[in-house]
Amino acid sequence: MPKITFALPDGKERTCSANEGLSLMEVALQNALPGIIAECNGSAACATCHVIVEDALAAMLDPISEHENDMLEFTAAARQPGSRLSCQIRVDDRLDGAIVRIPAEA
Amino acid sequence: MAGTFAFKAGSTAVPMISDVAFAELLNDPYPTFKRARDMAPIVRIEAAKIMVATRYDDIVAMERDPETFSSENPQSLVNKVMGHTMMRKDGEAHQRERRAIDPSLRPGAVKSCWGPKLEAVFEDIVARFERDGEADLFQALAAPMAGRALAEVLGFQDVDWQTMAFWSQSLIDGAGNYSGDPEISRKAVEAARGVEDAIDRALPYHRANPNTSVLSSMIHAEDPHEIDQIYANIKVAVGGGLNEPRDSILTLILGLLQNPDQLERVKANPNLWPVAFEEAVRWTSPIGMYPRRVTRDIVFSGVQLRAGDQVGLCVGAANRDGSRFEDPDRFDVFREKKSHLAFGAGAHFCAGTWVSRHMVGRLVVPRLFERLPNLRLKDPDAVRIQGWVFRGPVTLPVVWGA
């Protein structure tokens, strides 16, 4: 089972085992991580599951869809180069060992 | 408490509030919501003949479990009046239709297309009354703005706002016509036919000229809508897309006019307009309640529910849940920032969220305060707010100028 480390808004880290096939957002909710609200529960409609991934991971993931790209303009914390909606990232073994940052709200 | 069953700890029965008249619920549902919230996770409100959930965390949990709390309800009056709309579908069936319309409603479309179009509509509407010195903002501004905006976004080029308003109200009334009133049924059928005729008139243009409108998206989607899906989903958009922007325009204006100190601070820092909008829809949520159907026997938050039960998710109550929002009855733009449920939660999260955030919170209300100097309530006692399923000011007389 891939292990993913979330860097939390308060600077702490949490490493979570993640079931393949779930979205990163669902993993964050299962572990009650602060900063992932996920109002729309994975429909990419609310921009409240914003995370920032490192360049290497960003390059590996499926590209950002036009819709996700639009939504990323409306995150509470300002968009950054590695910004993604965690509901749009599926967990697979490529994410094992990844570090994903949950930004503090602006 | 007279007429109220006490809720015993450990009990799994659903307690009841039976001493509240329906008129009270319409005039001011919040005392009843608070009683229900303090009483139990699920409470039956006898006057409305429905069980309701009123706590924030419970509603979020229900919306995260659509298999148990389903939007599907074959017996629903909504289905009889409008057809099988995406609002009453779950899972993949819902997703397919929702995906088809999303390109019309996402932030990119709002910025590039609806922003400028709605600005022109707003300018036209304000020019008609700005020299009068006084107006009822329901009739003068909010109703025409919401109706014309909805016609634009859906792709109706030949439907005036009064017709949109008639259709919307008639479809809503028909969907809530539990007593089977024949006049309400007749109007709902007339409205439904009117919407279908308007769709039939509009489709040839949208077929030949792909554009940003919802009708165009429906027919040009990768997985396009069939005609019956178009009819049903446009009807639900007409029924469910007009009240909310209309009521939230008025609610935001009212909240600020009743709190001049907050208004001054927002005017001094325009970045606060979107925050003020979110606070307005938290404070008086335009959609106060929507139903879900329980699909299996389950003990939820300690309450026994049965397969087939209907539960109303009272987001209007959850948005005033004191365990989440401090001093929840107060309109306070500067309260601690927390997400609310005014746009719902889960897969049915309001499709029109981004259009409304822009139209109400960035365009109509900020511009109105710029255009009408010294805007103030004509008579603070004349303001009337009504409704519990849908709620908003039904009249908002204001004056401006010296």
Cβ atoms B393, B138 nearer than 8 A: yes
pLDDT the model gives residue B334: 97
* Higher-confidence position of A71 and B6: A71
How many domains, chain A? Answer: 1
Residues of B in contact with A29 (CB under 8 A): 64
Indicate the helix (H) or strand (E) that contains A40: none
A96 lies in some domain = yes
Residues of B in contact with A41 (CB under 8 A): 63-64, 345-347, 349
- Looking at CA atoms only, how far is residue B40 from chain A in angstroms? 24
Residues of A in contact with B109 (CB under 8 A): 70
Contacts of B117 (CB under 8 A, 6+ apart): B152
Q: B349 and A48: CB-CB below 8 Å? A: no
CA-nearest residue of chain B to A48?
B339
A106 lies in some domain = no
SS3 category, B274: helix
Report whether pLDDT(A73) > 90: no
pLDDT the model gives residue B330: 98
For B162, list phi and psi in degrees, rounded to 5.
-65, -40
CA-nearest residue of chain A to B66?
A41
* Higher-confidence position of A39 and B165: B165
Residues of B in contact with A105 (CB under 8 A): 337
A33 lies in some domain = yes
Alpha helices per DSSP H over B182-242: 182-208, 214-220, 227-240
Q: B346 and A48: CB-CB below 8 Å? A: no
Indicate the helix (H) or strand (E) that contains B169: helix B161-175
Give the structural domain span for A80.
3-101
- Looking at CA atoms only, how far is residue A29 from chain B in angstroms? 11
Contacts 24+ apart (CB under 8 A), B149-152: B149/B114, B149/B118, B149/B121, B149/B245, B149/B355, B149/B359, B150/B237, B150/B238, B150/B241, B150/B242, B150/B245, B152/B114, B152/B117, B152/B118, B152/B121, B152/B213
Taking the C-alpha atoms of residue A77 and residue A35, their distance in angstroms, rounded to an integer, is 10
Percent of chain A with pLDDT over 70: 99
A82 lies in some domain = yes
Question: A70 CB near a chain B CB, below 8 Å?
Answer: yes
For B4, list phi and psi in degrees, rounded to 5.
-115, 130
pLDDT the model gives residue B337: 86
- Mean per-residue pLDDT for A47-69? 92
A64 lies in some domain = yes
Scan for tokens 């709390």, then name that residue.
Answer: B69
A56 lies in some domain = yes
Q: pLDDT (tens digit, 9 = 90+) per residue, B115-166? A: 999 999 999 999 999 999 999 999 999 999 999 999 999 999 999 999 999 9
Residues of chain B with pLDDT under 70: 1-11
Contacts of B31 (CB under 8 A, 6+ apart): none
CATH number of A69's domain: 3.10.20.30
Name the band, by pLDDT with cuts 50, 70 and 90, for residue A43. confident
pLDDT the model gives residue B134: 97
SS3 category, B134: strand
Question: A30 CB near a chain B CB, below 8 Å?
Answer: no
Mutate which of A30, A70, A72 to test chain B, going by most B C-beta atoms within 10 A?
A70
Would the pTM count as exceeding 0.90? yes
pLDDT the model gives residue B257: 98
Cross-strand partners of A51: A84
For chains A and B, what is the number of CB pairs under 8 angstroms?
Answer: 45
Indicate the helix (H) or strand (E) that contains B6: none
Taking the C-alpha atoms of residue B88 and residue B291, their distance in angstroms, rounded to an integer, is 10
Of B63, B339, B351, the CB nearest to A37: B339
Residues of B in contact with A87 (CB under 8 A): none
Of B108, B109, B349, the CB nearest to A45: B349
